[in-house]
């Protein structure tokens, strides 16, 4: 299967981090096509940035949907996820959703940890959006700043491990999600340093995408994720306008139909 990995951040090195981490767990037949946003901010960290990223995600899926069997939104707060799910005919996965659902099988309650304080409100909103607050022990973040967004794993390794252990000891976390695209691939490296399972969002999303592809659920024609009725548009990029207006070239043949 082909998985479209949409990075709504404009930083290509983050896309590469996500791609490598995803490939490390992908099944033999899975090809991951990774794309980087050409509009937005280097690393989405707040609600406003996430909203801008959401629009970008929809535009990017509209343009590239024919190249894939499933889409992964490559930013932890799942920007654009529910909108994409209703608009398009293929499975769309979010890194935060996939990792939280995976964590639910590994513990009664999970904690989310990440590298920057600014991310916390958006992540808390995200847990609530998924109706999983009752399963979330805490969202913890590191204080202070960092040198380079693409070398955070090395720079902050000790502090992140300490943070994870604090969540286990003080918040009753049974599992820890290492959240934020710049931490992609880190969970496996430090798994021996924390006494509970560590969950890697992009890797969880790749496995969940493969699972959904195999289960081949139909595209709903009822319920909250049915495709919206056609509607005229103004000033939108052509592929997205075409999809919203139900123009013929906006359909695809896929697993989901």
- Does residue 160 bind its own copies (CB under 8 A)? no
The only residue of 125, 151, 154, 155 in contact with its own copies, by rule CB under 8 A: 125
Beta bridge partner(s), residue 2 = 31
Selection from 190, 185, 131, 182 nearest residue 158 by Cα:
190
H/E element holding 241? helix 238-244
- Does residue 169 bind its own copies (CB under 8 A)? yes
Tokens 């995803």 — which residue?
22
Distance between CA atoms of 110 and 103, rounded to whole angstroms? 6
Q: Cα 167 vs. chain centroid, distance in angstroms? A: 22
Number of residues that bind its own copies (CB under 8 A): 94
Supply the minimum distance, in Å, between the C-beta of residue 66 and its own copies: 18
The only residue of 2, 31, 158, 214 in contact with its own copies, by rule CB under 8 A: 214
To the nearest 10°, the Cα dihedral for 65, 66, 70, 73? -30
Site for its own copies in 36-95 (CB under 8 A): 37-43, 45-52, 54-55, 58, 80, 82-84, 86-87, 91, 93
- Does residue 166 bind its own copies (CB under 8 A)? no
- Does residue 198 bind its own copies (CB under 8 A)? yes
- Per CB under 8 A, the segment of 125-133, 152-160, 178-186, 246-254 that binds its own copies is 125-133
């Amino acid at each position: 299967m082909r998985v479209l990995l949409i990075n709504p951040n404009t930083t290509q090195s983050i896309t590469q981090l996500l791609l490598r981490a995803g490939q490390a767990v992908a099944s033999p037949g899975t090809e991951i096509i990774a794309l980087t946003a050409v509009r937005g901010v280097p690393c989405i960290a707040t609600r406003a940035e996430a909203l801008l990223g959401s629009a970008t995600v929809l535009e990017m899926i509209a343009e590239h949907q024919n190249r894939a069997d499933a889409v992964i939104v490559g930013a932890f707060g799942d920007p654009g996820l529910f909108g994409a799910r209703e608009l398009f005919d293929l499975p769309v996965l979010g890194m935060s959703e996939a990792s939280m659902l995976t964590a639910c099988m590994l513990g009664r309650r999970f904690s989310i940890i990440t590298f920057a304080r600014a991310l916390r409100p958006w992540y808390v909103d995200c847990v609530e959006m998924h109706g999983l607050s009752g399963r979330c022990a805490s969202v913890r973040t590191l204080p202070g700043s960092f040198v380079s967004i693409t070398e955070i794993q090395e720079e902050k390794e000790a502090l992140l491990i300490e943070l994870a252990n604090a969540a286990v000891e003080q918040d009753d976390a049974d599992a820890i999600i290492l959240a934020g695209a710049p931490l992609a691939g880190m969970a496996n490296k430090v798994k021996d340093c924390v006494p509970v399972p560590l969950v890697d969002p992009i890797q969880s999303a790749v496995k969940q995408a493969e699972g959904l592809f195999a289960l081949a659920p139909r595209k709903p024609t009822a319920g909250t994720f049915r495709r919206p009725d056609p509607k005229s548009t103004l000033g939108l990029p052509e592929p997205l306008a075409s999809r919203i207006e139900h123009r013929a070239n906006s359909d695809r043949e896929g697993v989901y139909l």
